A and B are shown apart, each in its own frame.
With several copies, the nearest count.
Chain A
Amino acid sequence: MDLNFTDEQKAFRADVRAFLDEKLPKRLSDKVRLGQRLEKADYEEWHAILNARGWLAGNWPKKFGGAEWNAVQRHIFEEETTAAHAPRIVPFGLAMLGPVLQKFGSDEQNAYWLPRLLDGTDWWCQGYSEPGAGSDLASVKTTAERDGDHYVVNGQKTWTTLGQYANMIFCLVRTSKEGKRQEGISFLLINMETPGITVRPIVLIDGEPEVNEVFFDDVRVPVGNLVGKENDGWTYAKYLLTHERTNIAGVGFANAGLANLKRIAKLEESQGRPLIEDPLFAAKIAEVEIALMAMATTNLRVVSAAAAGQAPGAESSMLKVKGTVIRQEINALTKQAVGPYAMPFVSEALEAGSNVGPVGPDYAMSATSQYLNNRKLSIYGGSNEVQRTIIAKAILEL
């Protein structure tokens, strides 16, 4: 056993850090640090900067224009970018669809879609969840009926993150009612501008329209947009889900959040001394920090196993649960740390460059909305209840 990174890995970390120092616009890192809204253009700007360096698609093979990093390199990149408050890379096209196309798509599809993914021509969103299905993804009700050289799609998708920015959506659709629920599902690429598609924003409890409902009413999709074989979509969907789970622990976000929390606790004053010197609040920070120190090592164990080619099993479910619990606790403590200034709920202040400033200190303005928004962490991507069942069944073989 050896907890130290290799010289090679250290050198890579240095490269990433130097790149971020030089290329990450302060305007963007300020927004991320303060929890202000990122516009479509912000993401596109950051994607372009990474693409210019060849680092936009770290997990793609070189032949497709990716960096072909191993799990440890991806982990280092993730650590450094979150520590520097870089915007996240929007995952739907690059982290989710890309690998599916590369593994199951046709050469034509890869030749056409992958470059557009890298150069930002297309913004993809995900058409997986449906109303009432919850974590039960296989219960796909949206139908696609073959009509000549088109599929006619009818139904509804929901929880579509940033769907309002997207011009393309990849969907699970039902092309057959025969056999088990998992059979008869197909994987379709759909242009959002096609007639019959309506996007309706869903406002969440933090007041932000982050997710959407997408309605399909006789939407005609060329058969060329079918990925892989008809009715084999479930295989591709599961493959995508395993990719969605890389960095499932969110160690980078947690570390950045903890650093921010400690900074605030040093600035806030309670009973005539810095809040961080209140032993009971310090204990809450220390408990989550100690849990994070351990979880980060669990994550490294899974990462280095993955780098050695082992596929993570129940471990990623464990990381999902523990990782989300830790991040949510950090959000709760950050909200607690800002005190009465967690109460103001001024949406405009989250708009960088709006003429409305924060009510209290700038570090307080997004504490409540981030706490509320991140309740989603334990719900989406397979709720923590589903993850616990997976863990128990894997170990108890029940």
Chain B
Amino acid sequence: MNFDLTDERQMLQDGLRRYLRDTVTPDALRAAEAGDTGFSPEIWSGLSEMGVAGALFTEDQGGFGGAGFDLMVVFEELGRAGAVEPFTELLLAGGLIAELGDDAQKALIEQAIEGSVQLAFAHGEPTSRYDLERVETRAEAGADGWSLSGRKAVVVNGAQADHIVISARTSGDARDTAGISLFVLPKGSAGVEVRDYPLAGGGRAAELVLDNVALPKSALLGAEGEAFAAIETAHARASAALCADALGAMETVRALTGDYLKTRKQFGQPIGKFQALQHRMADLLIELEQARSAVINLCGRLDGPRDTREIHVSATKHLVGKVARLVAEESIQMHGGIGMTEEYSLGHFARRLSMLDHRFGDSTFHLGRFIRLQAA
């Protein structure tokens, strides 16, 4: 049992923290928000050059990491800086390609690790909410390939991605785990209608409407109808990434709030001298350590057996979701009015934290799932 980082991860963390501190500035974030990608291409390639993308993949996949604690190091630092670059999408889509792809498809991973292509995963649909098996988009096999029709909702990085990994049903009905297949959809394919829009937590997403989109046979990713297990695994890894990102964001929020309590004076003394705020800050710190341990628990199980892994996915997503709400709301409250303003740096982090619950399942959803998984 050992909770220290390996030297490699320690170096990665130090380098990342330095680089992000210098690059992810309020101005850079405003520019990213104003731009049409929703993130900074410079920071994206800068991070790729540093090997951040490589840290998300194993050596046989062409990277040099890929373990749960590699994800934790990377995303905790991205979160600490409030970076909005779409590495979670790379992890999701890239992970699926790396696991299921043939050699031709795997070539994309190499480019992705270089940072030269953008990826996205189109899975959720307008009414699927957090049910991974709920796929209504259909793919019909034809003589010379596939024809896809349906709708995909809140596809993060969807309009920016050069290639979208997209799920569609090749058999079964809306709520079966069997019968779900994956395809690689190139940008600009005919029959795809894209609505691109900004997200409250930063970055952009798109609604996709597919109307008889023609794809070659070679677009199929992995075995027909058998993609569910890989999709669940990809979501487990992406959930760990989101929770580590939230953990980093909470550390920044905690630091901002601590500094504010020390400097802000009211009724003649620093408000940090007020015991009521001290004790609430203490509770906040306790919950932050709870969240850190929950992320460790999940990252340590990502490569383990499915049942244990999924129990920890739901335990961690539940706990971190709850703590993220507490930390965001308490920090704004302890700041008072200034914490409500866009100008002050807290806002960006608080908004990001308030969005954690809306991807891959909120804390209530995962509490129920934790109970079901344990009863099973």
Contacts and interface: CB of A to CB of B under 8 A. Distances in A.
Interface of A: 1-6, 9, 72, 129, 132, 134-136, 158-159, 202-205, 207, 268-272, 275, 277-284, 286-287, 290-291, 293-298, 300-301, 304-305, 314-315, 318, 321-322, 328, 332, 335-336, 339-346, 359-360, 368, 371-372, 375-376, 378-380, 383-385, 387-389, 391-393, 395-398
B297 to A, nearest CB: 6
B342 interface: yes
- Closest 3 pairs (CB-CB, A-B): A392-B278, A297-B293, A388-B282
Contact of A300 (B3, B129, B270): B3
A304 B282 contact: no
A92 B339 CA distance: 24
Contacts of B129: 268-270, 275, 339-340
Contacts of A339: 129-130, 358, 362
B283 A342 contact: no
Interface of B: 1-6, 69, 72, 124, 126-127, 129-131, 153-154, 175, 195, 197-201, 205, 207, 258, 261-262, 265-267, 270, 272-279, 281-283, 285-286, 289-294, 296-297, 299-301, 315, 318-319, 325, 329, 332-333, 336-337, 339-343, 347, 350-351, 354-355, 357-359, 362, 364-365, 367-368, 370-371, 374-375
26 contacts: A135-B336, A205-B351, A270-B129, A278-B364, A280-B367, A286-B371, A286-B374, A290-B370, A293-B297, A295-B290, A297-B297, A339-B129, A340-B154, A341-B154, A372-B200, A375-B333, A376-B340, A385-B279, A389-B279, A389-B282, A391-B281, A391-B286, A392-B282, A395-B282, A396-B262, A396-B278
Nearest to B271: A134
A284 B368 CA distance: 11
B308 to A, nearest CB: 11
A343 B285 contact: no
Best-surrounded residue of A322, A371, A376, A395 (most CB of chain B within 10 A):
A395
A287 B367 contact: yes
A368 B293 contact: no
A283 B368 contact: yes
Given A9-B1, A391-B285, A391-B286, A371 B354 contact: yes
A205 B278 contact: no
Contacts of A315: 289
B258 A380 contact: no
A186 to B, nearest CB: 23
Contacts of A388: 276, 278-279, 282-283
Contact of A321 (B72, B127, B286, B341): B286
Contacts of A346: 197-198
A79 B362 CA distance: 33
Nearest to A397: B262
A277 B195 CA distance: 32
B195 to A, nearest CB: 7
Given A297-B293, A297-B296, A392-B272, 4 more contacts: A1-B300, A293-B297, A301-B3, A346-B197
A395 B283 CA distance: 12
Contact of A342 (B292, B315, B350, B355): B355
Nearest to A295: B290
Contacts of A396: 258, 261-262, 272, 278, 281
Nearest to B270: A398
A333 B330 CA distance: 17
A343 B340 contact: no
A214 to B, nearest CB: 15
A73 to B, nearest CB: 12
A395 B278 CA distance: 10
A3 B286 contact: no
Given A300-B3, A388-B278, A203 B343 contact: yes
A343 B205 CA distance: 9
B184 to A, nearest CB: 23
A372 B355 CA distance: 11
A328 B175 CA distance: 34
B368 A1 contact: no
Contacts of B276: 385, 388
B282 A290 contact: no
A203 B342 contact: yes
Contacts of A391: 281-282, 285-286
Given A4-B1, A134-B266, A372-B354, A283 B297 contact: no
Nearest to B281: A392
A180 to B, nearest CB: 14
Contact of A360 (B126, B273, B296): B126
A370 B353 CA distance: 16
Contact of A205 (B72, B195, B262, B341): B341
A315 to B, nearest CB: 8
Given A205-B351, A375-B340, A342 B200 contact: yes
Contacts of A340: 124, 129-130, 153-154, 358-359
